[in-house]
Structure 1
């Protein structure tokens, strides 16, 4: 296997900026989950929180793969051991630290007690210590299986990518919507095998293989990718606009058919055919927007700030959601539409401020940064 790290390629701000946008979307999804608990949630606001943001998790797999393969030189030797060591420091160490932190914190806040060792191992394996940490589990499985993705990207062509897209749609449709498979899974006796099936979305990278590979392919053909984005900006914009319209139409049509808002968002998700297309379109659209600056340049420092602190903000934001919503509950405050928007802003600002302060503290105590965001810088 070939492909070493190349340090001569120019920095692409779009990668950092998209990280920030992804973090904004993830917070929106989790605020939306809280808002759904209100007596009469507004379906349109729920759509903004839970449908428009559906690109947020899979687009990070796109830019993760892009970053890896963009900085890879196929002419230099690739050390899988060195790669895994670096990625374990960047992902696995923070994952373990934050998982244990949330388990200890929640055991005190909600009086649940710290889980016993066998159950703890199960929680850590499937990323269930907190509702957002499964993402790091999937990401690390992508890293573990890097030789597979590298070999695919060395040989695949545009026709192969089209075939892969349809295979992805078929696999995700079976995993998410095949009722015979789902009923059979729940009918199994409790076992580790049943847990593997029940929590397949928490660790199995195959659900996001296409978006990961398309990110890697774009990086390996960066000149062609950027030329296409530049020459077809209107098409990319219309593709993005059309894809979100299609996903929203799916969401509203489900509710017209009798689905609750909760059932609708759990059906019109990022693994649906419409969701996969939306992720692809959003990935291209944001890369185009941030590369060719179709907005005031004065916004760049804001996008840079969000991107730089997106990792910590992503990891810490459930802490603030938990405490703020508990405060609302204890004071009998109903999370109305306007209050949910305010909650979103407060959680976002709290998360970014915490990220900035902790990053500064980590500059004095480098191992703090290492444990929380995987780097001493």
Structure 2
């Protein structure tokens, strides 16, 4: 994978509980919250694991390695899956209740905008350290401004920039869904046609100069490049009951279709490289035919998540593990390039000693462990909300040495009405 083939992240969190009780003092109708979707947690965890694997595979091999690029051809689904997931979660949370764009923007941009700036500054400073402080001060400061504007502070940061564009446009997307109720299949059809048109231009780029040329050079950081997957996720959430019926009825076919599409995508990649196409170019995420595989793998992952969380009980060990993995995934996403860079000096010697495959496995396990440790630390320090978009986790050390007595145990909190 090249450095602009990055993974993705969704910081939207499903905090869904049981129906709220009626307020005794009023005659208000019963207010309910939609069920918690454990399959979304599993979807997010699997996709984040693949993001790390994508970058480790790229970082452990040379750019013209055919086997590595074949694997990356499949792993590039991650960015599209996360944009679909972002829209899915936002629509699931907002579609059936009053919506305020101002409130939505204020909350969302605080939860992701501040971490975006903080981590952009961190990676900008880290690049200065890697350059042995040779960069002139004014040049470095101007580069920071450009990095924040373009998402180039490090190779994964652009995803947060695109996510904020989704947030910015979400009120319009919600209005579009409501205005076209009953015609969403046509909305998807038009969106798919526009996506294919963009993919053709991406593989046959026009000649732009000046400001337009700069925009096109950073098109991977513009939401229009992924609009079909955003609309796909939004429409899926709007018609969730129909989606779940389709998964129940056609789930095995969706999974099989994703496997077949993946095999054919790799076959096409190998055929193209055999005819002289550079491997790094053959695995380009904007290859038009890959839209079929990406769409099917998104559906297959949701299907597998549904199967894997069927009859999930709140509070069970599995539910807590899913919640933990989903919560820490954002921190892992932000930190794993830093962990990979720390290991980088030992990758080539390790590959020469134990082979590329085993080197990739060792690096992957190491990067995941380091990133998870870092994510855990950043969730437990003051300022966690600015680093992860989530409040600081406070450790109850008494729980480490035994259960609380009944007198010590706090009363269970009631589910808020809204």
Aligned 1:1-377 pairs, distance under 5 A: 8-37=33-62, 41=65, 43-48=66-71, 50-76=72-98, 78-111=99-132, 112-113=134-135, 115-154=139-178, 155=180, 156-174=183-201, 176-179=202-205, 181=206, 184-185=207-208, 188=209, 191-202=210-221, 204-266=222-284, 269=285, 271-293=286-308, 303-328=322-347, 334=352, 336-359=356-379, 361-362=380-381, 365=382, 368-377=383-392
The structure with the largest helix share of the pair is 1
- C-alpha deviation, 1:332, in angstroms: 8.3
The secondary structure found in structure 1 opposite 2:43 is helix
**1:196 Cα offset (Å):** 1.5
User: How many correspondences in the alignment?
Assistant: 351
Q: Deviation at 1:258? A: 1.1
Distance 1:258 1:302, change over 3 A: farther
Q: After alignment, is 110-119 or 276-285 more displaced?
A: 110-119
Shift of 1:23: 1.2
Residues 20, 7 of structure 1: alpha-carbon distance in 2 compared, 3 angstrom cutoff: farther
RMSD: 2.6
Distance 1:301 1:74 in 2: 27
Deviations 1:189-226 (A, max 9, x none): xx444321211112x11111111111111111111111
Question: Are 1:36 and 1:46, in contact at CA under 8 Å, matched by a contact in 2?
Answer: no
List runs of 5+ in structure 1 lacking aligned partners: none
Per the normalisation by structure 2, the TM-score is 0.77
| Cα shift at 1:355 | 1.2
Partner Cα separation in structure 1 for residue 308 and residue 283 of structure 2: 32
- Structure 2: unaligned runs, 5 residues or longer: 1-15, 17-30, 393-418
| SS of residue in 2 equivalent to 1:352 | helix
| Distance in 1 (alpha carbons) for counterparts of 2:239 and 2:191 | 18
SS of equivalent to 1:338: helix
Which of these two proteins has the greater Rg computed from alpha carbons? 2
Displacement after TM superposition at 1:303 (Å):
4.8
* Residues 305-355 of structure 1: per-residue CA shift (max 9 Å, x gap): 4322110000000101111003446x6864723212211111112111221
CA distance in 2, matches of 1:32, 1:333: 12
Deviation at 1:61, TM superposition (A): 0.8
CA apart distance, 1:243: 1.9
Asked if the contact 2:191–2:231 (Cα under 8 Å) also holds between the matched residues in 1, the reply is no
C-alpha offsets along residues 152-202 of structure 1, whole Å, 9 cap, x if unaligned?
Answer: 22214213312321221112221x1114x0xx23xx3xx444321211112
What is the TM-score normalised by the length of structure 1?
0.85
Q: Which range moves more in the overlay, 348-357 or 206-215?
A: 348-357
